Structure 1
């Protein structure tokens, strides 16, 4: 959502334009307020993408202002102090502010011992009191004003305000100190929870370093002391200052650590503030660290935090407290379900139900999204009802202005199941009462890029931050870039691992590279990030289990049927098939990777281009999150079971039954296959060495996907040449350098290019196919009748000219007929209609396209050479 409207001298767009599409923007050389750009479902426009890497955002912001600048685009929201100078300079474009699809919070390892209190995965009362003490330790309102220049919103729930979700009245969360006031309502102001008064310096101790740290003797300082006493860490407190007395020997015997991210100044200061607050409670002195709590500078890199890599054999006790941040939270379940539900811990047997508190559905994994090991059955129950509710909202759901005493809830019509909105409210309420984390703020973000660039697509959730930068790197174009043929986007962080099996959902830069190399069945509209787009697929159907032609696994309620496009190829030239998708989904689910696959019960390959993904529950966002990366099975399978050549031979076999039998055996062991041929995630033939944390697909030459950008070329495809280090870890001062898939080919002239290249979009427009099978078959019949007819024959000229013909016209031949045949049934923007009901803010059809040094104009602009003339 835009925070303000950019006003152009042309006061409004022409009224004849569709509400969903826009004309090309006019870019003025001196303009420094970035236009709101329409997006294009094709690319890349440039031949090379580089990611110069920095130590932190400050270094990146300095770099873009250098002459010459080593980058064209930033990847991180601008510091408020530089927005004004950049906006005033004709050398830069600054985007309008957007509400961040992310948030920042203080996290706790729920499997740890805190000062003698075993948190018991979030279920110990002493742990709740300790976390509530921390919750009183920072005034979020003063923090946002001081550290962020007001360019953010304080929050009390782990969901950014950009997500449409009712937030609970927090004023009864603290049973020791219930609150009253204007914020004590549903959808009340953030910063209300665990906040008794504005922070002041207090008295009787030294003055806190930060104005948002409550001082000795203040209401929140004393409330925190009472919570630590209730946790049995002390027996009393000073009646004036509230500094603790009678401190338990268990406290001194079990000190804790706080891991503070130093690459982001607000998080650094917040972490230091908490350290000082806790030290003052125990010692009466505000100091950054003491014998009770050690404050560790994170060293400037997200990769230094040990918590993201989880163990498959034990609960790794490598941290206590972390100053965390999340991005790409496009829906409420992005955080509330996928980050905190206990089915997403690394599910070793000792902590799983029935012997432990964590979900029986959790599996051991090296990359658990719930790396905090939060296992609350009350929370899980509510958030799972929200995730798989039969409706999103219902009359009687919580509404703004209600209180915890008057709030109402509702079931979906004609069911006994709560609506997703009602269940999500209850889940947040449980979360807040237990202070499982302490959410801080969500930003209002602006980004910068060099003047001269066009099609700088701003994701309306992530902005330019990975992985929301997908359409930015796909569409960005300049007629005279600082480096010929190249778009350069800085990375404020080094990458750590770009394996899809170990890249953390919280390490956005790892995901950025993964997202550029590997593709997925569906993507989302950058201007409306909850809107699903069929991407690798012609269509995605949802079918009831009773309507399937086979018997699905027990518990299956529905199947999502993916029909893949027939023109998908790996960077190494082999065809992408439904077996690759099946292999990837089974391998991810069996390895505990890809939280969106949680409801999957199995996959059933129906043809080389069609596969069912069976699920045991369906909610409002199941389809959205079921889409994940598709890997080449030939490159990831255990070679003792199936070699790459054996995979290729089977995939090329025109006998489907024989091919399916062979490739099913490649995908999973026989024990994981049902009698009706459904492959279940109970086992996978993934090469186990390639799911280990140490596996490096770059050094191994295995960074091979079907996405818009590729690593290396020729015999070097897959690595290591795309990384300055020759590995997946690119440190500050290094760079990634990826190549457009299809560089060196004529636009639209080769299948060995990105299937959504500009040239392929031009071919689709030229073909006349639009995705309706009936009319497309008639269209194919018409082009067949035109075969060999003289140039100028009525009804045939559209295929004799354009990108598939020539400016002067040529007779229709096999090439032209095959182009039309290729796109029968293909709607480029499914499930939308580009002309009648287009996706929000897509460019008007037919668009001007760029592919490397070539500009492809439609006939409406160039009636002689236009690609669709």
Structure 2
């Protein structure tokens, strides 16, 4: 999923492997394993009833150091696991080698820190293309137009096109000049190098393919020469990379009078010169002051259109984004020789959600100009470009679907980027094998001239070519300014066993491989796992939350909580993210229809239950996915832009159709599933044979919801989500509906309703009952979804739960531990319960231990479980056990073998 750090602008992929504690994590010194190292074992089952059954989240102030920070509390022994990359001050490579100092994570004997790896992240500056500083800004169709106060309309300049599909933004030459000037004011490479960060030139992690130079051997992407070609007024000067002539000699801020500072002055002057496309400026055109290149507007000084309409910089208070924002602000003020920037500092909850991410009717469009953004972009491909830069994500401003928190909050609506990202989103292969003509004017890929995939319906542009084209169009228009991805190192107690280092993420992931106490005895008892309680994992959260409403949640901290409560249809390997396999589903088959559209025929596992005990059905999946697509296109539905209609075949089978074919569709299928019963309108009712029906027919037959192929959405047997529950004010934690089918559940910890499901599992710093808005020192408590002693349904537990006591005791209680039950039903240990397994146990039905041609001694011994027999010693109920798992699979379409899925725990 793309997780905004705002976070979730759109879901790319979710990894939800849940582990059990088995052994101490091997170490080299106190540095953990790389993702691909032997021993970095991951599991496809859990939680373990004999280990961690409780999760305790503690929320902090957003800082990575100092009083009140997550890392200070970790050093005090109050956390088992952190959720954010560590600063280099904790690394041995930065000189922190004192083993007695708890701030030296590499040296401290009781801590474990992952090796450095490139983050699947993107941090930088983006701008508000609908701001009154840069365009004729409107808040609604036909509304009054304000601006552009900074003398240049970045967009098409026609207020009549706003809020229509014809709106184009970031297109004018003067706007390109101004944004290129911003780029020259900040030395991204030096800023990153000074902090051991990975410098970015493209809006994509350098660890992904394609990317931008410097490229690895065989990696596709843009060369330095192509980046330098973006710079419109190069003046014959050398270029060392995108919008940079020379290093700053210090940090990010380019010094006054430097080559880049002077280039920024040239570009700003060009943007304000009459005759430049988009220029609206009527004041004195500035010149450059001799020796400094500071803009000189003449005797009147800087015109009031700039000083009275200051550039509103939204700067995150966490480092290094605070330094990044301050240095950019200082450069821009220096360029004008006056204060033209007004900063506002804050967190995702103070400047992110309420200002930058939100738009009408939640908040105004014109209330910010620049934001120090951050995205987490898991998954194997840079397939987030459509979600973040295609005009479909810019809410109704460019004719898309209404969203109060759009996926494209900077309002990028560029036809060239739309074309390139649309092509990438339906690319059926990564690299083609057919040579063809150039795409989007960039010529063949730098490292591979073959640019088309060959399919039954003809040649299709390949993913790398289309994505590289989108990078080039984005860069030539200077849409925004990516600065860095973090060099990821994450920390945990060495006494925590079963840790998994995920590629591009470290120990911190949207859904952790939860473990438990290892065999390591800490040198200081302060650092015992769980604080001495091996059933509790204490997980630090860098900062708080605003929303647990899944239709509104966006930040990584929100999804780290609700991602344990809700479960996903498919998932992927944490060390080979391109390997996607069924999680809630037993299997899926793909096919292509006559229109060239890809279909996923999905079969659900038989033992799926929501935490309230109700079955998970194909109608729940359809309700979830179609409403995510249509009602939350900027958040959980962000990857469903090409999903067409879903057809439910029966309660466990459904057909999901997509526009064309894409390498990303298996990843996009991995979204959360929510229980429709808590989200449908109040007049709707459910039939186990036909799905949902509503008194108000328009709720199951909505009109005018366009799909990617030009048709309209069809609901039919599921309704649209209740409008009241789409509102950001709807709090499922307070309403008692924070209920899913995930491995952990929300049960009240308060005396008045102790143990009640879906509510009461969070408390404020003073111990009082909390809402979904969790602030400093608030806590969230989740408990493992295990079989209750009073349960009457053996499947009323997590469908991959681990319990070594399975088949002991009697009745329903004997079926606790669904992984053990699945493994038992899979006699051949292929990873799938087949008809052969059922035939084998069926042949032993009624057998009391006497060998027969159909049930030999070995078969009887394997199948015989007294707990399931009406007459002890005579096989009977075992047949029903196996039948209840027929066709279920562990990792379909892959074999659960380490030779196929690298580092997966051996099965069985």
TM range (shorter): 0.7 to 0.9
Please list the CA deviations of residues 720-748 of structure 1 after superposition, one character each: whole Å capped at 9, or x if unmatched. Answer: 33454521111111111111111645999
Shift of 1:344: 1.3
Q: Which runs of 4+ in 1 moved over 6 A?
A: 21-24, 178-182, 402-406, 660-667, 746-749, 770-775, 806-809
The equivalent of 1:93 in structure 2 is 112
Is 2:252 the partner of 1:199? Answer: no
Q: 2-side partners of 1:339 and 1:29: how far apart?
A: 39
In structure 1, the gaps of 5 or more residues are 1-20, 184-191, 201-209, 285-289, 352-357, 547-554, 847-869
1:456-495 aligned within 5 A: 456-467=499-510, 470-473=511-514, 475-478=515-518, 481-482=530-531, 483-495=533-545
1:566-715 aligned within 5 A: 566-593=606-633, 594-639=637-682, 641-642=683-684, 646-647=685-686, 650-651=687-688, 656=689, 658-659=690-691, 668-669=700-701, 680=714, 684-712=719-747
Question: Structure 1's 513 and 628: CA in aligned 2 closer, same or farther, altered over 3 A?
Answer: same
Is 2:520 the partner of 1:501? Answer: no
The equivalent of 2:496 in structure 1 is 453
The equivalent of 2:132 in structure 1 is 113
Q: 2-side partners of 1:673 and 1:231: how far apart?
A: 40
The equivalent of 1:860 in structure 2 is none
RMSD (CA atoms): 3.5
Q: 2-side partners of 1:445 and 1:762: how far apart?
A: 36
The equivalent of 1:550 in structure 2 is none
The equivalent of 1:41 in structure 2 is 44
Is 2:185 the partner of 1:145? Answer: no
CA contact (8 A) 1:22 1:843 kept: no
Question: Structure 1's 514 and 116: CA in aligned 2 closer, same or farther, altered over 3 A?
Answer: farther
The equivalent of 1:857 in structure 2 is none
Question: Structure 1's 499 and 322: CA in aligned 2 closer, same or farther, altered over 3 A?
Answer: same
Please list the CA deviations of residues 150-204 of structure 1 after superposition, one character each: whole Å capped at 9, or x if unmatched. Answer: 2x22111001012121231301011101778796xxxxxxxx210101114xxxx
Q: 1-side partners of 2:593 and 2:882: how far apart?
A: 35
Aligned length: 758
Of the candidates 87, 106, 109, which is equivalent to residue 79 of structure 1?
A: 87
CA contact (8 A) 2:699 2:719 kept: yes
Shift of 1:685: 2.5
Of the candidates 152, 155, 172, which is equivalent to residue 200 of structure 2?
A: 155
The equivalent of 1:558 in structure 2 is 598
Q: 2-side partners of 1:471 and 1:748: how far apart?
A: 30
Please list the CA deviations of residues 507-540 of structure 1 after superposition, one character each: whole Å capped at 9, or x if unmatched. Answer: 1111212211111211111111222111111112
The equivalent of 1:64 in structure 2 is 74
Partner of 1:122, secondary structure, is coil
Please list the CA deviations of residues 291-338 of structure 1 after superposition, one character each: whole Å capped at 9, or x if unmatched. Answer: x11122115857655222333699622221000111133244443121
Is 2:311 the partner of 1:256? Answer: yes
CA contact (8 A) 2:357 2:406 kept: yes
Q: Which shows bigger deviation, 117-126 or 220-229?
A: 117-126
Of the candidates 880, 888, 895, which is equivalent to residue 826 of structure 1?
A: 888
Is 2:61 the partner of 1:55? Answer: yes
1:188-587 aligned within 5 A: 192-200=241-249, 211-232=251-272, 234-246=285-297, 247-263=302-318, 265-283=319-337, 290=339, 292-298=340-346, 304-305=352-353, 306-311=355-360, 316-346=365-395, 348=396, 351=397, 358=398, 360=399, 362-395=400-433, 407=446, 410-413=451-454, 415-467=458-510, 470-473=511-514, 475-478=515-518, 481-482=530-531, 483-504=533-554, 507-546=555-594, 557-587=597-627
Q: 1-side partners of 2:868 and 2:588: how far apart?
A: 38
CA contact (8 A) 2:829 2:907 kept: no
Question: Structure 1's 75 and 774: CA in aligned 2 closer, same or farther, altered over 3 A?
Answer: closer
In structure 2, the gaps of 5 or more residues are 1-18, 34-38, 93-103, 134-149, 156-168, 211-219, 273-280, 520-528, 749-753, 803-816
Q: 2-side partners of 1:435 and 1:177: how far apart?
A: 14
The equivalent of 1:764 in structure 2 is 822
Is 2:81 the partner of 1:32? Answer: no
Please list the CA deviations of residues 54-88 of structure 1 after superposition, one character each: whole Å capped at 9, or x if unmatched. Answer: 1122211111111xx22100100111011231111
Question: Structure 1's 763 and 747: CA in aligned 2 closer, same or farther, altered over 3 A?
Answer: farther
Is 2:783 the partner of 1:739? Answer: yes
Of the candidates 799, 806, 817, which is equivalent to residue 755 of structure 1?
A: 799
CA contact (8 A) 2:21 2:498 kept: no
CA contact (8 A) 1:307 1:371 kept: yes
CA contact (8 A) 2:866 2:872 kept: yes
Q: Which shows bigger deviation, 382-391 or 718-727?
A: 718-727
Q: 2-side partners of 1:673 and 1:260: how far apart?
A: 37
Partner of 2:106, secondary structure, is helix
Q: Which shows bigger deviation, 245-254 or 431-440?
A: 245-254
Shift of 1:145: 2.6
The equivalent of 1:779 in structure 2 is 837
Shift of 1:832: 0.7
Q: 1-side partners of 2:860 and 2:235: how far apart?
A: 74
Partner of 1:343, secondary structure, is helix
Of the candidates 214, 223, 232, which is equivalent to residue 175 of structure 1?
A: 232
Question: Structure 1's 433 and 772: CA in aligned 2 closer, same or farther, altered over 3 A?
Answer: same
Q: 2-side partners of 1:770 and 1:228: how far apart?
A: 71
Question: Structure 1's 334 and 386: CA in aligned 2 closer, same or farther, altered over 3 A?
Answer: closer
CA contact (8 A) 2:420 2:466 kept: yes
Partner of 2:91, secondary structure, is helix
Question: Structure 1's 300 and 834: CA in aligned 2 closer, same or farther, altered over 3 A?
Answer: closer
Partner of 1:595, secondary structure, is coil
Q: 1-side partners of 2:695 and 2:41: how far apart?
A: 42
The equivalent of 1:856 in structure 2 is none
Question: Structure 1's 730 and 445: CA in aligned 2 closer, same or farther, altered over 3 A?
Answer: same
TM value normalised by structure 2: 0.77
Q: 2-side partners of 1:182 and 1:235: how far apart?
A: 25
Question: Structure 1's 93 and 130: CA in aligned 2 closer, same or farther, altered over 3 A?
Answer: same
Please list the CA deviations of residues 19-54 of structure 1 after superposition, one character each: whole Å capped at 9, or x if unmatched. Answer: xx9997555799622245200001123110111111
Q: Which shows bigger deviation, 737-746 or 42-51?
A: 737-746
CA contact (8 A) 2:567 2:673 kept: yes
CA contact (8 A) 2:693 2:719 kept: no
Shift of 1:253: 3.6
TM value normalised by structure 1: 0.81
Q: 2-side partners of 1:89 and 1:536: how far apart?
A: 40
Please list the CA deviations of residues 832-866 of structure 1 after superposition, one character each: whole Å capped at 9, or x if unmatched. Answer: 112485312101122xxxxxxxxxxxxxxxxxxxx
Q: 1-side partners of 2:30 and 2:58: how far apart?
A: 24
CA contact (8 A) 2:201 2:482 kept: yes
Shift of 1:782: 1.9
